[in-house]
Amino acid sequence: MPPATNIKVLPENVVNKIAAGEVVERPASVLKELMENAIDAGSTRIDIEIAAGGRKLVAISDNGSGMDRDNALLAIERHATSKIGDVDDIEHINTLGFRGEALAAIASVSRFRLTSSREGEDSGTEISISGGKIQDVREMGGPTGTRIEVRDLFFNVPARRKFMRSQQTELTHIRTAFTFQALAHPEVGLSLTVDGRVLHRLAPGGDDPVTDRVRDLFGEDYVSQLRSVDHEADGVRVQGYVGLPAFSRSDRTEQYVFVNGRATSAPLLGYAIRTGYHSLLPRDRHPVLVLFVGVDPGSVDVNVHPTKKEVRFRRPSEVRDTVIAALQKALSVQAAAPAAFADVHDGASNSKPHVAVPNLQLAINDLPPARVFRYPRMPIQTVDGAPPPPMDQPFGPGGLEREAPQPDAEPGAETDETTSAPWSWCRVLGQVGALYVVLEIEDGMVLMDPHAAHERVLYERFMRTFEEGGIAIQALLVPETVELRPHDANLVRRHTDVLKRMGIGIADFGGDSFVIDALPAFLSSVRPDQLLAEMVRELEEGGAGRARGKLNEDALIQASCKAAVKSRDALTLDEIEQLVIDLAGARMPYTCPHGRPTLIYMSYHELNKKFGRER
C-alpha cells in the first residue's frame, strides 16, 4: 500500500516558476509579452535592446502612459492587471494582454528592473527584483513611459537554461517575434538593437502604414510580389497582402496572420489559406502573406492558451468562408498584371532596361512571323517513343481547340472584362525541345509550358460550363453499400441533402451504413467508398459549401489534365498563338490547376545584368 501523502499549498516562488514555464519559453517570449504591454499602454515609440541572444539582456523602453509607485508594485504581482475588471470583460477582450501573469512570471526567473514615470509627475519609480524577490524600490527621475530590463534569464532555473539554444538561434526567434509585432502595429515606431548594432529602425506608418511597414521590413521587391486583400462579409473583415503563387515558400515561416491585431493562429485559418490557394500551389509549397482578420471582440475567444498563441471563433464557418473568399478575390487576375510581369526595377538605376514598343497589342496574327533557325541535332522523341510530328501537322482528338483569331482587336483589348493579360503584347518566337514555348513581351521574355498552360485554359473552360449547365448524374449498375465510422456516419446524415444536390445518390441503410446508387457523371470512375470518405473529411473541415466546391474542382482538374496537350507534343505556330491568346484571357494565367507555373519570366533588366550591361 503506498504511503499516505498530504496535500499542501505551494509556496509563491514555486507557483511563479511554474507560471513562468507556461508563459516564458525563451527570450523571444519575454520580448513578445513586454512589447504587447507597451502597445497596450498607448506607446507610439518602442525601443528594444538585446544582448547575447537575449540570454544576458532583453530591454524595452516605451513612451506610453507609465505607472506611479503603487501601480508599478501591483504590476509585478500575479493576476494583477488594468485591462479587465470582472468576468464579463473576458468575453470582450480588445487588448493584447489581460491575464496579469507576464511580469510576475518573467521577474521570477531573471534579474528584473522596472522603471516607470507618469506624465506630469516630478519623479518615477524604479523596482529591482532578483529571482522573484524584491531587492529595492526607490524614486528616480526619467521621461514619461516605462523601461524594463530582463537580465540573466533562467539564472535560477538551470534545467530551463540548459535547454536554451545557441545565441544565433535565440536571436532568430527574437527577430521573428519583433517582425510579428512590427507588422501587427505599423502605427508604432520601433527600433531593434542587437549587441550594440541597430538592425531595424522603423518609423510609424504614414497614409498606408501596412504597406510602408512591409516595405521597410522586407524591401521593395518583396512588396512587388504581393497582392492587396480587402474583403468583408458576415461581420468579418480581411485585409493585408497575399503572395502570388510563384512567390511561395517550402514552409509557413512567412505567413503572418493577425486576429484583431493579435499575432495568433487557429486551425481553421490554416485550412482557409490552403483552400484559398487550392489549384494554385503544389502541396509542398506554402504562400507568403500578411493577413489581418477583424471580428467583433465578443465573437472570438483569446483565452485558450497561456501564451495566447491560438484563438477560437464563435462562428468559425463565417470566418473561414470570408478568408477563403478574400484570398480567391485577391488572386484572381483583375485590373493589372502582377508585378511579376512588370519592371519592378524601373528607376532603380540610371540605366533603363530596354522596352520593345509594338504597333499592335494582343493581335497575334498581325505580329511579325517568328524566324526559325535550324541546326543539326539529334531527333527528339515524344513520350511514346515515336518521332515528333511535322510542325504543320494539326492535333488529333484531345488536342488544342482552335478558335477564330481576332485580328481586329484594339490595342490592349481584353477578352473578358474581369481579366487582364499578363502582358500588353507578345510575339511568339517558337518552341524549344519540342516542349517549351518562347515568347517576347514588352519588357522581357517568357518561357511557357504548353501542357500547364493548356490545363489552366481547359480547367477554367470546364468550370464555366459546369457552373452554367449543372451536374449530369449517372446511375450505378449495381448500388454499393458503404460502411462508415460512427462519427463520419453522423456527419453524412447531417449533410445528406447537400450530398444529393452534389449529384450523389445516397440513402441511409441503417446503423452506420449507406447505399450509393448514383454519382456525378464526371466521377463515375471513382469508387463510392473512396468518394464518400473524401467528402466526409471536407464536410468536417470546410463545411458543406467547401465540400461541394472541392469535389467539383478536383474532378475538373483531373479532366483538364487528361485533355490537355502532352509535354512532348510539337505545336504549330498557329496552335501556339491560339494557346497564348487563351491563356492571356484566363482568370489566373500564372499556374496550372495543380499549382505548377505556366510561365517563367525574365526581364531585360535581368538579361542585361547577366551580360554585364548593367550593375
Q: How far apart are CA 453 and CA 459, in angstroms?
A: 10
CATH 3.30.230.10 fits 225-331, yes or no: yes
Contacts of 225 by beta carbon, 8 Å cutoff, 6+ apart: 243, 244, 246, 247, 288, 338, 339, 340
**Contact call for residues 193 and 49 (beta carbons, < 8 A):** yes
Going 333 to 336 to 342 to 344, the CA torsion angle's sign is negative
Q: What is the pLDDT of residue 177?
A: 93
How confident is the model at residue 58, as a pLDDT? 97
Neighbours of 595 (CB within 10 A): 18
Say how many C-beta atoms besides its own lie within 10 A of residue 512's C-beta. Answer: 17
Q: Do 352-369+410-449+567-615 and 472-563 come out as alike in CATH topology?
A: no
CA 327 → CA 40, 232, 330, 578, distances in Å? 30, 12, 5, 30
Task: Report yes or no: 89 and 204 within 8 Å, Cβ to Cβ.
Answer: no
What phi and psi values does residue 192 have, to the nearest 5 degrees?
A: -130, 120
In this structure, what C-alpha cell is assigned to residue 70?
A: 503603487
Q: Residues, the chain, total?
A: 615
pLDDT of residue 253: 86
Q: Which residues, listed in sequence order, are joined to residue 294 by a DSSP beta bridge?
A: 237
- Do residues 190 and 49 make contact, with C-beta atoms less than 8 angstroms apart? no
The answer, as to whether pTM is greater than 0.85, is: no
| CATH 3.30.1370.100 is right for the domain spanning 472-563 | yes
Helix ranges restricted to H, 244-284 = 267-276
User: Which cell goes with 513?
Assistant: 451504413
| Residue pLDDT, tens place only, 437-471 | 888 887 888 899 888 888 888 788 777 766 666 66
How many CB atoms lie under 10 A from the CB of residue 603? 22
Please tell me the predicted confidence (pLDDT) of residue 93.
Answer: 57
> Cell for 570?
510539337
Which cell is 241 given? 497582402
How far is 33 from 39, CA to CA, in rounded Å? Answer: 10
What is residue 454's predicted lDDT score, i.e. its pLDDT? 86
Q: Which residues of the chain have pLDDT under 70?
A: 1-5, 10, 12-23, 79-100, 303-308, 333-421, 465-471, 502, 522-526, 537-570, 615
Radius of gyration of the chain (CA): 30
**Strand 45-51 relative to strand 133-140, pairing:** unpaired
What does the pLDDT look like over 285-296, one tens digit per residue? 889 999 999 998
Residue 505 pairs in a beta bridge with: 518
CA atoms within 13 A on the CB side of 452: 22
Task: Indicate the residue type of 403.
Answer: E
Q: For residue 320, which of 552, 543, 535, 537 has the smallest C-alpha distance?
A: 543
- Residue 567: CB atoms within 10 A of its CB come to 15
| Beta bridge partners of residue 301, listed in sequence order | 312
pLDDT value for 297: 84
Whether residue 114 contacts residue 127, with contact meaning beta carbons closer than 8 Å, is answered with yes
Q: Where are the domains of the chain?
A: 12-202, 225-331, 352-369+410-449+567-615, 472-563
All three cell numbers of 613: 550591361
Residue with cell 494554385: 280
Q: What cell numbers appear for 40 in the block?
A: 497596450
Backbone angles phi, psi at 46, to 5 degrees: -130, 125
As a whole number of angstroms, the distance between CA 60 and CA 592 comes to 48
Task: Convert the pLDDT of each residue in 522-535 to its tens digit.
Answer: 666 667 877 777 77
Q: Nine-digit cell at 185?
A: 502595429
The CATH number of 12-202 is which of 3.30.43.10, 2.60.40.10, 2.30.110.10, 3.30.565.10?
A: 3.30.565.10
May I ask the CATH class of domain 352-369+410-449+567-615?
A: alpha beta
Output the nine-digit C-alpha cell for 285: 509549397
The pLDDT of residue 67 is: 92
- One-character DSSP codes across 169-238: HHHHHHHHHHHHHHHH-TTSEEEEEETTEEEEEEPPP-SSHHHHHHHHHH-HHHHHTEEEEEEEETTEEE
pLDDT at res. 190: 96
- Name the helix (H) or strand (E) containing 610: helix 604-610
Q: Spell out the residues 6+ positions from residue 220 whose beta carbon is closer than 8 angstroms to its own.
A: 344
DSSP character at residue 286 = B
Is 476 within 8 Å of 469 (Cβ atoms)? no
